[in-house]
Amino acid sequence: MSGKRPDGTGRPTARSKPVRSKSTGSPRRSKSPREKDTSPDLPKVAVLEVTGRDIDGELLAQPFEWRGTSAAPHILIVPGEGEAAKPAGVGDKVLARLTPVDGGYEARVMRHVGGKGDTGARRTLGVFQSDRTEGRVQPVEKGRDEILISRDHTMGAQTGELVQVELEVGRRYGPPLGKVVERLGLVNDARSVSLIAIYEHGIPVEFDPAAVKEAETAKPPKLGKGTDLRDLPLVTIDPPDARDHDDAVWAETDTDPKNQGGWVVIVAIADVAQYVRPGSALDRDALKRGNSSYFPDRVVPMLPEALSAGLCSLVHDEDRAVLAVRMRFDARGNKIGHEFIRGLMNSRASLTYVQVQAAMDGTPDAIAQPLLDTVIRPLYGAYAAVAKARDARHPLALDLPERRIELNEAGHVQSIRIAERLDAHKLIEEFMIAANVCAAETLEQKTTPCMYRIHAEPALAKLDSLRDFLKSLDYSLARGQVLKPELFNRILEKAKDTEHASVINEVVLRAQSQASYNPENIGHFGLALPRYAHFTSPIRRYADVLVHRALIRACALGDGGLPEKQGYPEFMSIGEEISAHERRSMAAERDSSDRYLADYLSDRIGAEFDGTISGVTRFGLFVRLRDSGADGLIPIRNLGTEYFSHVEAQHALVGDRTGLTFRLGDAVRVRLMEAVPVSGGLRFELAEYDAAEARTLRRRPGSTEARGKKPSSRPGAPRKLPGPAGGPPPKGKKVRKAKRVRKKK
C-alpha cells in the first residue's frame, strides 16, 4: 500500500470522526491485558523515523536513533497541514508534535526532514515550467507549493524538464523561491520514473572515482593455497533478467555409509572480500549505499559494474573467486556438518528457474539436457530432503503474489504479471537459507563478530489488533500461547482458497516486526531459526560483505578478513546504518512501482475496476486493484454525505446515520478519478458496493434498519452509494443534521 494521496492532503476531512478515548479525546488503541503502559516520557516535539504500518495501514514511528533500554514507545503518525501533509513512507524522517494517548503517542507531522537526500540546504525535485518573466517548478512530492524561479537561476531549463531545486532559506511569506541546481531530462521520458524515486530518497548514484579505479584495475586472484573447485559442475540458477550472479550450487548423494540417504551440497558465493578491502574507496562507497536498489528499468548497484557484473559475477565458463560452504544433510534434511572453503570455481552453465523446472518436468532444452542427471536431479534430491526439515521447523508460510512490472522498448509498462513460484525457486531459497545459518553458527562458535539478520516476534499491540480483526472474520488467534510462526500458519491454512485468503495473508504480514541487522542475536522469528546471518549476496548487500570478512578471519582463509579493531560497537553502528539504507531502498522501489502503475492507468480515467479494501484510515479507504495490484485512495469525502467513524477494533469506517460499513478486506468496485504519474498517486471513488457485505456494526436510532423499514436495495444486489459516488445527496432533515454537526466542529 503506497499511502499516497493524489489530492495532496492525507489529513482527515470534515467527514472523518475517529472513535476517541473518553479520557484523552485522542484515538484509542486496543491494548492487551498483559501490556503495561510503560511508554517513556518524550519531548513535545521530536524527530521520528517512520518504521512501518499497522494492519489498518496507519503509519507507525519511533524516535530517531532510539537508544532506550526498553522497547520504543508506540507512536501513530497523523498528517500535518500544508507541506507537512505530504504522505510519509517507511524510512522517512519527520519533525512532529507529540501528544500522549492511551498506550503511546500521537504524532502530528510538522515537516519532513533528512531521509530523502536532505543536503543541509533544502532541495526538492520537480517539473519546470517557463513563462515570460520567470520559471516555476511543481514538486513531485504531493502537497508541496509551486516554487518560483527567477530568470537568472533556471540553468537554461525548458518546460517539461525534471529539475532539482534548492530552496531559498528564511522566506516566510509568499510562494517559495528557489534556483535550479541540476537538470535531469524530460519528465515524460519513461526513464524519469525511477530517477525521481532515486533522487527523492537520496540514493547515491555516482561512485567515487577512486572506487571506480579500484574496481577497474582489480585482477582475478590466483588459486594459491585456496581450494580448487573448478572440476565441480557448479551452476547458477537465476531469473532470465538477472543483473548479477553471486551464487552457484551443486549436490550429490553422500558416500559416507554412516549417512545412508544423505546429501552433500555446496553453495559457492562470489568472493567480494578479495576486491573490497576494509577502509578502501570501494568499501566506503558500498557502506554508503548499504545495498543495491532494483527498479523496473534499472539497478543502482552497491558495487561498480566492473565488479558487480564482472569479476564478482559467476558467469559461465570463467574462473571466479568464491567463498563456499560444504554442507552435509541426513535423509530427513537435518544438517549434520559443514565447513567453509575459499578458492576458485568455473560455472558449467548459467541456468534460469524456468529452464531448470522444465528439465525436471520432462522438457529439457539443449543446455539443460546434458546436466539433467548429473547436476539437476541431484539438486532436487537434496532439496526434497532439506524441505522435510523446513516443514518440521514451520517457518512463516505467507502466500503473497509477487507482481512484476514488464516494460516495452520505450520504457513504458507493457504488462503486469504475477511471478510464477516454482520448485526451482524454492530449491535455491532453501539452500541459501541453510548456507546463511552455517555462517551464523560458525561465527558464533568462533566467537567472531557477526552481523545477524534478526527478526523479532510481533509486538503485543499489533497482535491485539490482528486478533480483533481475525475475530471479526470468525478466525481465532488464542492468547497465552508461546508465540511461534506455526500459530499463524494454522490460520493461513484455514483461510486458504477462501474469499478472505488474500487479506488475511496481508494483515498477518503487517503484524510482523521488521527484520534488521544487528550484532546482538535475538533469532529470526519468521524463519523459525535461533540464529541467522546474510552470507549469500555480497554483490548487493553490505551485511554479507561483513559476514564474509568475519568468516575469513574466523576460519583463517587468507587475506581480506575482518580487521581486529572492528568489533561489537562498530558492528552495532554499521547495523543501524545499513538497516536504514535497506528501508530507504525499499521505499524508493515502492515509489517507483507506484509511479509506473499510475502511468499505466493514466489513460483509463473513468474506468471501473474490481478491488479489495487494503487499508482503513481516518481519512479514507485504500483500495488495491485485483488485476494490477495498484493501490489508491478513496478520500472519506467521497464515501457519501454522512459522517464516518473509524472503529479501530473492527478495522472499519462506519456511517453514523445509516450504519453503512466499509471493512478491511471487503470487495469493492471502484472508478478511477485521477492518476498522477509524476507522484504515483491514484484516486478512486466507489462505483458499487455489495449490500450483502454492508454490515451494520451498531444500530442507530435514526437509521432505516432501526425503524424496521426495508433497505432500499434488495439483498445481495450492488448498492449505489449516496453523494458523489452514486448520484446526488439525499435532501431533508438528515443532511441538515450533518450540517449542524459540521458547524459544531
**Active site residues per annotation:** 238, 244, 246-247, 353, 540
Side chain identity at residue 662, one-letter code? F
Cβ atoms < 10 Å from Cβ of 505: 20
Cα 105 from Cα 29, distance rounded (Å): 10
**CB neighbours of 267 closer than 8 A, spacing ≥ 6?**
247, 248, 249, 324, 325, 327, 431, 432, 434, 435, 536
Is 253 strand, coil or helix?
strand
Cβ atoms < 10 Å from Cβ of 591: 24
Would the CA dihedral through 686, 688, 694, 699 be positive or negative? positive
**CB neighbours of 148 closer than 8 A, spacing ≥ 6?**
134, 135, 136, 175, 176, 177, 178
Quick check: 268 and 313 in contact, CB under 8 A? no
Per-residue 3-state assignment (H helix, E strand, C coil) for 163-231: EEEEECCCCCCCCCEEEEEEEEEECCCCCHHHHHHHHHCCCCCCCCHHHHHHHHCCCCCCCCCCEECCC
What would the DSSP string read from start to end of 675-729? Answer: EETTTTEEEEEEEEEEGGG---SS--TTSTTTTTPPPSSPTTSEEPPSGGGTSSP
Residue 506: name the closest of 470, 481, 454, 482 by CA.
470
Residue 506: name the closest of 87, 77, 90, 57 by CA.
57
Quick check: 367 and 317 in contact, CB under 8 A? no
Cβ atoms < 10 Å from Cβ of 422: 15
Side chain identity at residue 683, one-letter code? R
Quick check: 249 and 356 in contact, CB under 8 A? no
Residue 482: name the closest of 463, 461, 462 by CA.
463
Quick check: 670 and 684 in contact, CB under 8 A? yes
Is 107 strand, coil or helix?
strand
The CA distances from residue 47 to 64, 97, 141, in Å, are 6, 9, 20
Give residue 687's Cα distance to chain centre: 30
Per-residue 3-state assignment (H helix, E strand, C coil) for 606-665: CCEEEEEEEEEECCEEEEEECCCCCEEEEEHHHHCCCCEEEEHHHCEEEECCCCCEEECC
Give residue 486's Cα distance to chain centre: 23
Report the alpha-carbon angle 401-405-408, nearest 5: 155
Cα 614 from Cα 510, distance rounded (Å): 11
